[in-house]
Structure 1
Amino acid sequence: MAAGDAETAAVFVRRYQARVYGLAFALVGSSAIAEEIAQEAFLRAWRHAGAYDPRKGRAVSWLLTITRNLAVDAVRLRGDTPVDPHILLNTLTRNERANPAAATFEDTEELRAALRALPPEQSTPIVLSVFYGLTATEIADRERIPVGTAKTRLRRGLAKLREALGVTHD
């Protein structure tokens, strides 16, 4: 794709379109906006394919990060929060699959189990940070806790998630 191969790009889009759309939809709660985000995510991946470094992670992780950032920007631009983070956390951690498009993630069940294993005081800041793009200061304000506590909970929760998912930090 970095070499401008349109056929490779088409295969890439077909392979990941459900995941990208599912993540966008889960974050913005609107089919039309999720479609726009998915399209923009693939365009950015196409434009910046040369910047992708496979040593830093899988291509799908890179693509989903692009998608997440676009979705967070869209939510902020709209000025509303379509899903309360506690509801989102419950949706992410329950066993049944609420959104079939989002449920195609290869690691969904493993991630859900890892989030379920965390205490709520650690899983909530992770959801607020990852899905809503909130900073530690914003999380502290929202949860009515000191900033240092928010940072500690976030750091410890992410460390436990990395350990549970077998992610190594290089």
Structure 2
Amino acid sequence: MELYSRAERADDAALLAGVAVGDDAATTAFVRRYQSRVFGLALSITRDRGLAEDVSQEAFLRAWRAASGYDARRGSALTWLLTITRNLAIDVVRARRLLPVDGEALERLVGETLEDDPRSPENAAGIELESARARARLREIPPAQARAVVLATILGCTAAEISRREDIPLGTAKTRLRAGLRALRSGLVEESP
């Protein structure tokens, strides 16, 4: 017990040095010291408790593997660990959003997203009509614009993420998104009774 209490009183650099050489007491103390902050950050990014637990565990594993390379001159241990956590959580969220969005997959994705809400049967006919109109209008605009609209509105991608996914310049991604939304909106307004 004395070993753990000594490790818990150690500063971060000493703990990480212990983690780097496989010291169980230092590793336990390091995890105990930062587990709530790591989990809190992971949860705030992923918004999924189970996923946040996985990200937290992986963050501590990566910290354990990279502990020998930690340099206190570059920042605190907490900043270093939270940077690892943040990057992992963002990667996990992005990976979950990476769905195919061309051809039939685009149609399925739009169809599933625009389906009627089963909790409101009184609105089902109106929602189905709007969904069908939106899907039809998406098929009428250029495919590159339709992909940009679906990526932004349904998958929540930013213009920068669309740029990376489509391998196009950021300005082109913004233009496609703006033009696609404008075409979609104008087509839906023209069809309104």
Q: Give me the TM-score of the superposition, normalised by structure 1.
A: 0.48
Q: Which has the higher helix share?
A: 2
Q: Give me the TM-score of the superposition, normalised by structure 2.
A: 0.43
When Rg is computed on C-alpha atoms for both structures, the one with the higher figure is 2
Q: Which has the higher contact order (CA 8 A, sep 6+)?
A: 1
